[in-house]
Structures are given as C-alpha cells and as structure tokens.
Amino acid sequence: MKNKVAIIGSHGLYANYGGWDQLVINLVENQDRKFDYLVFNSQDSNKDFKIPDGTKVIFMPLKASGIQGIFYDYISILISFFKADIFLLLGAQGMPMVYLLNFFFKKKIIVNSGGVEWEREKFSDLAKWYLKLCFDLCFKFANHVIIDNDIYQKYIPINSNVSYSVIPYGGTIDSSLIVSKKMINKYPFLKNNFFLSISRSIEDNKLNEICNAFQNLNEHLVLISNFSNSNYGKKVLLKYSNAPNITLIDGLYIKPELDLIRRRCICYIHTHTTCGTAPSLVEMIICNKPIISFDVPQNRNTLENFGKYFSCFNSLADLLKSTTNYSNFLVNKDVLKKYQWKQIVKSYENLF
C-alpha cells in the first residue's frame, strides 16, 4: 500500500498564486508517483478541474492567506492526522498544532519553512513574533526541514539537530503563443520594447518605487501584480494607472499569455527584497532574458551572481538611462539545471 502524503499550506491544486502551488501541481502530476496525495484547496481556489489519479482534494471554506490562513492550516492538520502518514507543510505557521497532536499520533513531518516572513513590513509585531516562533519550532520538532535558498541557512537555530535540505522552486515557460493581432489588441505594448516586472502587491516588493523610478524615463514598464488583493496594491494602481509609459496589469494568470509577455520583454527587473528563491525570478532565468535585480543575498544566490544589481531605485533609473545593450545581464544557461521540476520533485519524494 502506498503511503499517503498530506500537502498542507498551499492555496491548493491548480491554484494560481506562487511557488508552493506550482510545487503541488508538479508533485501530483508526476508520472512516477510512488505516493497518494491529500491536498487541501482554499475557498478562493479553482474548483473546475479533473483530479489526477492517486489524489484526493478537500475543499476548505477558508482562505489560505491572511488571518484565515492560520485556521486553514490548523484544520487541515487536524484532518490529516486521521487520513495521512506523511505531512508536507508548506509554511511553518501550523507547527504549534503539529507539535501538540504529534504527542498522540506520530507522523513523519516535513516542513518547507517558507521565507523569513517575520521580516516582512506588512505584519504586525504580534504576527512577526508568531511567525518567528513557528519557524523555530519546525527546527525543533519536524523530521526534516526544506529551505528554498542557501541564504536561509543563517537563520537556522544553532542548537537545532533537525536535518534540512535546500530545494528551490522550479519553473516552466509556455511557448505556444506568438505575437498575433489578437495578442496585440489585448496587449498593445507587445509592439514595442518594454521592461517587465512581476510580483505580489506587498510593500517589500517595492511596486511603488519601481513605478516612481520609471516616471521620468523614456522607457516603458509593464508591471504585473495582484494589485486588487491589497490596499497597498490598490494605491499603486490608482497612483500610476494614467502614467503614459507604465502599463499595470492586475492579476494575469493565463500562463501562455503571461509567458508571451515574459518572452517579449527586453529586460526583466526583479524588485523583491525579502523573498527566497522567487518563482517569478526563476521563470525569467528559464526564459533566458536579461535580468536586473535588487541587490540582496537571496537574489544573488538564485541568479548565481549573474545579471545586474541595483541597491536603490535612483541607481536603477541611472542604470537604465546609461545602458543600451542588456546582453551582459543574461544568466548563464547552466544555472537552469537546478530549476528543473523533474529534479525538484524527485528531491521531495526522496524525503517522503
């Protein structure tokens, strides 16, 4: 009989959110599946899909993010203790519940600890304390911890005896679309040169700053984000929606179209300041486009120091004014090897 793996903490199977959701898809669709999977889908996830063989999906009446996300994880964990042998927690915020229940039901606990969430600007002091506590708990009571970027090793508690692995997220690019009349009608900027940036609408992704940097440039910026999902994003959308050289796209989840835009940009600008291995950055590495990135250690680690870096948005503006050839900002193709989903899925399965 196959062991059943409960996947807890993502938005769910075929959700369109980030690296965890893409990981779930790749795990359950893996052709060499050795496990059965139990997946929890959040209230706002897609419900119109065929469930792959060997997978059970439980639809939850809660959202996976925000304050509801804690209850979403706790209830998923409680259900899983009666239905699964192995837990894969995507994020550590459910660790207090795991710690309590594992006194009575011994399960194999594998945790992808996520990023250093307690450093994000959007969280209150209480939320930051809780997130740091959960991170430390997974290095005390899990069987194995996964971090997605080598830089996060410095946050591992010194006295931890829990084994850990560094496993990044993967990426794929859909090349099925061309710049057709239909696509140009929908995205007129495809006719001309443009810079691209993609990120969630949270303060530490610096959406306001990159738009402000482009306001006085003769270059065109296409910024794709889930603007409507946060007050911060809504303010950016309102402030820059009429800027003549800035195109803001609110929530594009049609992958062939998103990847067409990726493939057509002249250069990608990565503004994440606190993420680990950002899926949006991985996709651009696979896309083989020049990359300019905010200069923090985790971005350098993801890019293996290829590309070009900026430390403030004034220097980004100066760089764009003085540069005409971006080919020197390409990432070596050998870097692609560590972001292949097949290899990443195998690394996870070896832990199960």
Indicate if the pLDDT at residue 32 is higher than 70. no
Helix (H) or strand (E) holding 225: strand 221-225
Query: Do 94 and 9 contact (CB within 8 A), yes or no?
Result: yes
Q: Domain 181-338 belongs to what topology?
A: Rossmann fold (3.40.50)
Distance CA 124, CA 264 (A): 39
Who contacts 215 (Cβ-Cβ below 8 Å, separation ≥6)?
240, 243, 245, 246
Indicate if the pLDDT at residue 154 is higher than 80. yes
DSSP string covering 312-326:
SHHHHHHHHHH-S--
pLDDT (0 to 100) of residue 249: 97
Instruction: Delimit the CATH 3.40.50.2000 region(s) of the chain.
Output: 4-167, 181-338
| Alpha helices (runs of H) in 30-110, residue ranges in sequence order | 68-80, 95-101
pLDDT (0 to 100) of residue 31: 58
Cβ count near 153 (within 10 Å) = 10
Query: Do 210 and 294 contact (CB within 8 A), yes or no?
Result: no
pLDDT (0 to 100) of residue 57: 94
Question: Beta strands 246-250 and 163-166: pairing type?
Answer: unpaired
AA letter at 250? D
Name the pLDDT band for 288 (thresholds 50, 70, 90).
very high
Q: Which of 95-109, 128-142, 166-180, 301-315 has the lowest mean pLDDT?
A: 95-109
Helix (H) or strand (E) holding 104: none
> Above pLDDT 70, what percent of the chain?
99
Cβ count near 77 (within 10 Å) = 26
Place of tokens 């959007």: 122
Place of tokens 């820059």: 240
Helix, strand, or coil (residue 172):
coil
- Residue 22 tokens read as 């893409």
pLDDT (0 to 100) of residue 34: 81
pLDDT (0 to 100) of residue 47: 81
Max avg pLDDT among 104-113, 124-133, 204-213: 204-213
Indicate if the pLDDT at residue 99 is higher than 90. no
Mean pLDDT estimate for the chain: 92
In this prediction, residues 56-71 reach a mean pLDDT of: 89
> Angle, to 10 degrees, between the axis of helix 207-214 and the axis of helix 231-240?
10
In this prediction, residues 90-106 reach a mean pLDDT of: 87
- Residue 144 tokens read as 């194995």
In this prediction, residues 264-288 reach a mean pLDDT of: 94
CATH number assigned to the domain covering 4-167: 3.40.50.2000
In this prediction, residues 216-228 reach a mean pLDDT of: 95
